Each structure stands twice: as C-alpha cells, then as structure tokens.
Structure 1
Amino acid sequence: MKDVKTLFPVGEENTAFAQYFIGQSYLQPLAESLPVSNVAFEPGCRNNWHIHHKGGQILLVTDGRGWYQEWGKPARELKPGDTVDIPPEVKHWHGAAKDSWFAHIAISVPAEGASNEWLEPVSDEEYNKLK
C-alpha cells in the first residue's frame, strides 16, 4: 500500500486503531487544529462497526473503491468524490472493496463530550456479500 499514489499522503500503519480493523489501514493526520486525517485501506480492509457519540463524522472519498454501511441498511458503494455525512449516534462501518485499495479524509465533527465507541467486527459473511 505504501507504493500506491493517493491524493494525500498514505501515512504510517494505523497501529493506534489496528485492533478495530480487519486488514491493514494507514493513518495520516492532516491538521493540528481539527481532527482531520487521511485514512487509507488495503483491499479487503474495513473497520469494525462503531458509533461517533455527540459530534459525528464526515468522510470525503479521495481514492479507490470502498463501502459505507449503517446498521439495518444496505451497504453503499463509495468512489472518489463521494461524501458521507454521518450523524452522531449512528452505528456504521466503512472500508475498502475486496479488490481495491481505498482512501478517504475523515473529519471528526467537534462537539463537547464527543467520543467513539468501537463495536463488533463486520463479519466475513456480511462483507463477502458485497461486490
């Protein structure tokens, strides 16, 4: 993945959050005044189901092909130029397609008391249904 050219730097292996991902991801902070990072995913990599309490999150897709899914809804394919505005308290996951690397800018919406709650992994059975 480090050799893949992306719009923003790929960054370092995402060791801080690796326990919440299936597969390898990379993290590159992009600003100091606001939690904004480029998150890059190797093919097949996805994060666990999770919830952003209070503030929510915005994803700006920059490279590759991936998926976003909210609990109880069908997965949505993501391509460069797509945006996802994730309200607070919505259980969801996002990650790469099986056959493509994927990158997005993740913006944590500032809010007093904002936090992330990491939940169960997206099962291989669920994930393998996606094309």
Structure 2
Amino acid sequence: MTALVLCSLLITGCQEQADRQATAAADMQTIFPKGEKGSSEYFTGNAYNHGLVPADSTYATLVGNVYFEPGASSNWHRHPAGQILIITDGMGYHQIKGQARQTMRKGDVIQCPPNTVHWHGASPDTGLQQLYIIPNTEKGIVEWMEPVADEAYHGAG
C-alpha cells in the first residue's frame, strides 16, 4: 500500500511539473514562427531557431530568433565577431566563461564581445525568446564547444 501511494505522489509531481512548463510555454508572446528544432549536438533541451536575415555579402550580418523551452540552453560557444542578444520574452541565463551567470529578462540587451566563450538559455521554469544578431559574418559565425554543466546552469560554477 505504501509503495502504491509513493508511486501516485511521484506521478502527480511529474505531471504538475509538466503542466507548469506547458503553461510557461503557452504564456510566451511569440513574434516569429517557432522555427526548426536545434540539434542536440549543440543544445540541451529543446531550442528552436527561425532565421530572419541570412548571412550574405551585402549586410554581413546574421539575424534570427531562438525560442528556448524551459530548461533548455545552448552549449558553450563563441562568435568570431561577437553577438548581440535582445530578449523579447521570458527569462533565462547568460554566462561568459570565467564570470558569474547572469539572469536575462524581457527587454534586456546582451553584448558578447568577439571570440568570448559563453552560453545562454531559458530558466528551469520559464521559456525564453531572443533575437540574435551576429555582425561581420565574413569573420565566421560560431564555434560550438561542450555542453554546459549542471553546476554552471544552476549558477554554482
């Protein structure tokens, strides 16, 4: 009887967490289509990219929108010419290697200097919408690295 009650509590707790995450995702104010799911090679959890301005020789700038589901994040990476993030909805984190993790919220603008190793993604309970701008694409776009450790994601490392 005790095992049955314990299993019931575990199932209820998992369902409540899934319901909270679904509600957080539904509350996001979407501007652009969800886009294509990012590769698990470069993202933990589900992140979706929708390109807005392709890299070309006229503008030499890449612009897109990424939606991170709650708990999703990018791997560590760097951009040869830097990156600008404009947070359009939700809450998440950004961290430059060797510095403390920072919280990002709707309206924040994050500037990542050239060749600076960093990661970004949603908080555990709230999704994140961000526009990304990568200038001077003739210098390269992105170099992907290892996944973010749980300690860094949770602000402990």
TM over 0.5: yes
TM-score between the two structures when normalised by the length of structure 2: 0.73
SS of the equivalent of 1:65 reads strand
Q: State the alpha-carbon separation in 1 of the partners of residues 114 and 26 from structure 2.
A: 35
Are residue 58 (structure 1) and residue 84 (structure 2) matched? Answer: yes
Aligned to 1:46: 73
Q: State the alpha-carbon separation in 1 of the partners of residues 68 and 95 from structure 2.
A: 16
1:14-93 equivalences in 2 (<5 Å): 14-15=37-38, 17-32=39-54, 34-53=61-80, 55-93=81-119
Aligned to 1:99: 125
Amino acid corresponding to residue 62 of structure 2 in structure 1: P
Q: Which has the higher contact order (CA 8 A, sep 6+)?
A: 1
Are 1:23 and 1:46, in contact at CA under 8 Å, matched by a contact in 2?
A: yes
Are 1:18 and 1:25, in contact at CA under 8 Å, matched by a contact in 2?
A: no
Alignment deviations for residues 9-58 of structure 1 (CA, whole Å, 9 cap, x no partner): 2422324x4410000011111234541111000000000000111x1110
| Greater fraction strand | 1
TM-score between the two structures when normalised by the length of structure 1: 0.86
Alignment deviations for residues 43-101 of structure 1 (CA, whole Å, 9 cap, x no partner): 00000000111x11100000000001000000110001100111111000000000100
CA offset at residue 111 of structure 1?
4.2
Q: State the alpha-carbon separation in 2 of the partners of residues 128 and 87 from structure 1.
A: 23
Amino acid corresponding to residue 9 of structure 1 in structure 2: F
Question: Identical aligned pairs, as a percentage?
Answer: 37
Query: In the comparison of the two structures, how many residue pairs are matched?
Result: 128
Q: Does the C-alpha gap of structure 1 residues 37 and 86 become closer, same or farther in structure 2, counting only changes over 3 Å?
A: same
Amino acid corresponding to residue 42 of structure 1 in structure 2: E
- Where does structure 1 lack aligned partners over 5 or more consecutive residues? none
Q: Does the C-alpha gap of structure 1 residues 59 and 78 become closer, same or farther in structure 2, counting only changes over 3 Å?
A: same
| Greater fraction helix | 2
Q: Which of 35, 44, 65 is the matching residue for 1:12? A: 35
Amino acid corresponding to residue 51 of structure 1 in structure 2: R
